[in-house]
Chain A
Amino acid sequence: QKEVEQDPGPLSVPEGAIVSLNCTYSNSAFQYFMWYRQYSRKGPELLMYTYSSGNKEDGRFTAQVDKSSKYISLFIRDSQPSDSATYLCAMRRLQGAQKLVFGQGTRLTINP
């Protein structure tokens, strides 16, 4: 069983829809949770991070962490065609610890 599971999609939604992306994990020691966005032929870039459980909002993006269920989510409101990319969840155990574990990534397409 992988430490981090993410539905690879692909996921295709119309412009303006609310998108929900999710990851589950098995290692209860994970403390830091991140979402990276990767455009085609580019390296990933950090989109959101959350420490421990809770919600974090940044514009149209909301990250949620439920440590009791070992489940994290990224919500995108009012989705735009420019949001079309692969979204990867990532997590690690300790601040500064460099063993970062990624999910498989979900390919998202927003249709105009």
Chain B
Amino acid sequence: EAQVTQNPRYLITVTGKKLTVTCSQNMNHEYMSWYRQDPGLGLRQIYYSMNVEVTDKGDVPEGYKVSRKEKRNFPLILESPSPNQTSLYFCASSQPGLAGRTDTQYFGPGTRLTVL
């Protein structure tokens, strides 16, 4: 089954304790992204990657790191989490579309993170 998986699905942690949220896709997609979703703010892009070893900042990259060492994996790293990073996080993947068609983003199930 084609899917994007994220782990963990739920995480409660404390300020300053480094954590990693994993993301993996089995569709051989080139593009992957991380988003956070907050009430009243919608989905905001944190980082994206257009291929292995190619990453770029989205709209809210502060406090986050990513890496893309393999095509299928795109982990999100919080080196020193703070309470304002409490949010619902989504990973997504897509494949460049044909001319005139957009590339559909496939989203993972989400990771609910609470930073105390």
Residues of A within 8 A of B (CB): 4, 6, 8, 32, 34, 41-46, 49, 51, 88, 90, 92, 95-96, 98-105
Q: How far is the CA of A8 from the CA of B39 in the complex (A)?
A: 9
Is the beta-carbon distance between A102 and B40 smaller than 8 angstroms?
A: no
* B33 lies within 8 A of A43 (CB): no
Given contacts A51-B100, A95-B102, A98-B48, contact A104 B58 (CB under 8 A): no
B74 interface hit (Cβ, 8 Å): no
Is there contact, CB below 8 Å, between B107 and A43?
yes
Residues of B participating in the A interface, judged by any CB pair closer than 8 Å? 4, 31, 33, 35, 40-45, 48, 50, 56, 58-59, 90, 92, 96-97, 99-110
Shortest beta-carbon distance from B99 to chain A in Å? 7
Structural contact, B104 and A46, CB atoms closer than 8 A: yes
For A92, the chain B residues whose CB sits under 8 A away are 102
Query: Could you tell me if A46 and B105 are in contact, using CB atoms closer than 8 angstroms?
Result: yes
Closest to B110 in A: A43
Residues of A close to B110: CB separation below 8 A: 41-43
Of A88, A95, A100, A104, chain B has the most CB atoms within 10 Å of the CB of A100
The answer to whether B45 and A42 touch across the interface, beta carbons within 8 angstroms, is no
A104 to B38, CA, bound (A): 9
Closest to B6 in A: A43
> What are the residues of chain B within 8 A of A102 when measuring CB–CB?
35, 42-44
Measured CB to CB, the nearest residue on chain B to A33 is B102
- A46 nearest in chain B by CB position: B104
CB neighbours of B100 from chain A (8 A): 51, 95
Q: How far is A32 from B90 in the complex, measured between Cα atoms in Å?
A: 21
Q: Decide yes or no: A103 and B42 within 8 Å by CB, A43-B90, A49-B102, A98-B50 being known contacts.
A: yes
**Are A8 and B40 within 8 A (Cβ)?**
yes
Of B42, B58, B104, B105, the contact of A6 (CB 8 Å cutoff): B42
